Amino acid sequence: MTGIRMINCHEEAHAEAILAILNEAIVNSTAIYDYRPRPLESMPPWFAAKRAHGYPIVGVEDASGELIGFGTYGRFRDRPAYKYTVEHSVYVERDHRGRGIGRAILQNLIEIARAKDLHVLVGGIDASNKSSITFHERLGFRHAGTIQQAGFKFGRWLDLAFYQMVLNTPKNPSDG
């Protein structure tokens, strides 16, 4: 992983690259349960929502400054008692997968979550995506359950597996 660097992504500099990575995953995989590529107009609201909640968008650039992967997290569910739980996403550009980039991104997200006193990171993974499941397990995530036939894409039913990592934070959780 020489010649790459971890960055904080910004809309002006990275929206198009993030969109390209997402759209490749939408069109060619079950990593995202969407059917159609997203338009560029979807990116300003996406970035605005992340900013409004203080959610990170971290990325990796190669030596030439090209974004080759990114990760973020967001609200798990919209109820106050879930305030210490987030759902993360990590995507790596197709030609750069399997080189430790996703690992670096997710490790960075875990550290950010710890620093923000979050308690649980959740990853929703298509149950047939063995490489993503192995990737999460190697970082310490554990299977938390599977929703059978949760999605339908590419002419078949998809099972959605949830993997979670429980952090040792916050020290003083509150109901407030």
Q: Which domains does the chain have, with CATH numbers?
A: 5-166 (3.40.630.30)
Contact call for residues 92 and 147 (beta carbons, < 8 A): no
pLDDT score at 1: 60
Distance, in Å, from the CA atom of 151 to the CA atom of 160, rounded to the nearest integer, reads 7
> Could you report the per-residue pLDDT of 47-102, keeping only the tens digit for each?
999 999 999 999 999 999 999 999 999 999 999 999 999 999 999 999 999 899 99
At residue 3 the predicted structure's pLDDT band, cuts being 50, 70 and 90, is confident
* 168: CB partners within 8 A, 6+ apart: 114
Distance, in Å, from the CA atom of 146 to the CA atom of 141, rounded to the nearest integer, reads 14
Report, as an integer, the average pLDDT of 34-58. Answer: 97
Give one DSSP letter per residue of the chain, joined into a string: -TT-EEEE--HHHHHHHHHHHHHHHHHH-SSS--SSPPPGGGHHHHHHHHHHHT--EEEEE-TTS-EEEEEEEEESSSSGGGTTEEEEEEEE-GGGTTSSHHHHHHHHHHHHHHHTT--EEEEEEETT-HHHHHHHHHTT-EEEEEEEEEEEETTEEEEEEEEEEE-S--SS----
| 4 has a pLDDT exceeding 90 | no
Residue for token digits 């349960």? 33
